[in-house]
């Protein structure tokens, strides 16, 4: 079936609905873009809409209903397009929106569908425009604004806060500075990238990457070469516990067990080695995983698709 973007434009007749700057696609897709101002007095800001079907999908006879790819953007009008707003923009302005696998076109019937129900071209355009500007409506858009604030502000910042807590705990315990960047799955330890999706573009050989600390100052601890930072924290922790137990006269099962251990030289050495191992290896490992997990949740909240 012969079809081009100009036929699409005539079918939708968006100009009659107050849209302008209608531009057909000519390179690999069947569709067009068009613009509209939310406020005619604001000549700098504009909404840009894109509706198209990939040409290979359109020509595939096995696909009866061709999915429409629909995008709505808001920002400053520039020559040839629109300067996009940040993901977290002013909620009094229209949202950038994506409509995929929601609207379809059947070329044999020459009809449009919203999922399984037939829909007219005029109603389709009105729906995507109303959803695009929904958050700007004082009453109708109230719950949408609350939902956006909850996911992209409150919940996102909550996970950022947890990640920061674990970051500083790790630094206090081991002296390590570990961060995780969700988008590129990039892990950084003490200023060095130890893992990244972009490693092949940064001259980093994944085979040579090991999740180890940068070599710092080492001291002897019961015959072991251990991190100076960790042993200082370990000593400070036990001095603090000693102060609480002895000077505050806080006697407990823990105190009695510890007293029995310290009366035996062998048990004292075993206790010191085991507890230091816990502080040196498992705890930093767990904290790094918690930082990564909460950083990932924060990013997922930031990029979460919210139904309009």
pLDDT digits (tens, 9 = 90+) for 222-262: 666 667 777 788 888 878 877 776 666 566 666 677 777 87
At CB < 8 A and 24+ separation, what contacts does 113-117 make?
Answer: 113/65
Percent of the chain with pLDDT over 90: 31
Report the pLDDT value the prediction gives residue 213, as an integer from 0 to 100: 45
Higher pLDDT pick, 3 / 92: 92
**Beta carbons within 10 angstroms of residue 19's beta carbon:** 19
What residue spans define the domains of the chain? 5-136
What are the b/e assignments for 80-114, b being 16+ CB within 10 Å? eebeebeeeeebebbbbbebeeebbbebeeeebbe
DSSP β-bridge partners for residue 119: 112
Q: Do 67 and 101 contact (CB within 8 A), yes or no?
A: yes
Report the pLDDT value the prediction gives residue 167, as an integer from 0 to 100: 95
Beta-strand relationship, 81-84 and 69-78? antiparallel
| Per-chain mean pLDDT for the chain | 83
Higher pLDDT pick, 27 / 203: 27
Identify the weakest region by mean pLDDT among 1-5, 94-98, 104-108, 287-291: 1-5
Q: Do 74 and 63 contact (CB within 8 A), yes or no?
A: no
Please check the confidence at residue 192 and state whether its pLDDT lies above 80: yes
> pLDDT band at residue 215, thresholds of 50, 70 and 90?
very low
Report the pLDDT value the prediction gives residue 303, as an integer from 0 to 100: 81
Q: Do 49 and 68 contact (CB within 8 A), yes or no?
A: no
Identify the weakest region by mean pLDDT among 33-42, 172-181, 202-211, 269-278: 202-211
Higher pLDDT pick, 127 / 306: 127
What DSSP element (H or E) covers 298? helix 282-302
Report the pLDDT value the prediction gives residue 3, as an integer from 0 to 100: 66
Percent of the chain with pLDDT over 70: 83
Please check the confidence at residue 42 and state whether its pLDDT lies above 90: no
**Whole-prediction pTM value?**
0.72
Higher pLDDT pick, 94 / 201: 94
């Amino acid at each position: 079936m012969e079809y081009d973007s100009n036929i699409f434009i005539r079918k939708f007749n968006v100009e009659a609905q107050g849209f302008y700057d209608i531009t057909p696609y000519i390179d690999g897709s069947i569709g067009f873009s068009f613009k509209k101002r939310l406020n005619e007095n604001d000549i700098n800001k504009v909404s840009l809409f894109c509706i198209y079907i990939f040409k290979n999908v359109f020509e595939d006879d096995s696909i009866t209903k061709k999915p429409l790819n629909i995008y709505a953007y808001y920002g400053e009008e520039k020559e040839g397009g629109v300067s996009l707003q940040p993901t977290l923009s002013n909620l009094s302005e229209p949202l950038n929106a994506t409509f995929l696998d929601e609207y379809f076109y059947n070329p044999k019937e020459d009809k449009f569908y919203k999922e399984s129900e037939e829909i007219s071209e005029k109603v389709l355009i009105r729906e995507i425009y109303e959803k695009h500007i929904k958050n700007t409506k004082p009453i109708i858009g109230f719950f949408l604004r609350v939902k956006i604030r909850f996911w992209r502000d409150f919940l996102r910042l909550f996970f950022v806060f947890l990640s920061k807590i674990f970051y500083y705990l790790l630094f206090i315990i081991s002296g390590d500075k570990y961060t995780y960047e969700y988008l590129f799955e990039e892990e950084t330890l003490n200023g060095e990238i130890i893992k990244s999706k972009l490693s092949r573009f940064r001259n980093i050989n994944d085979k040579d990457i090991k999740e180890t600390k940068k070599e710092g100052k080492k001291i002897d601890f019961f015959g072991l070469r251990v991190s100076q930072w960790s042993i200082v924290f370990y000593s400070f922790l036990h001095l603090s516990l000693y102060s609480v137990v002895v000077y505050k006269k806080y006697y407990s099962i823990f105190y009695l067990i510890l007293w029995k251990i310290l009366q035996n030289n062998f048990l004292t050495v075993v206790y010191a080695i085991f507890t230091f191992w816990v502080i040196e290896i498992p705890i930093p490992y767990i904290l790094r995983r918690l930082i990564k997990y909460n950083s990932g949740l924060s990013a997922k909240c930031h990029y979460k698709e919210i139904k309009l």
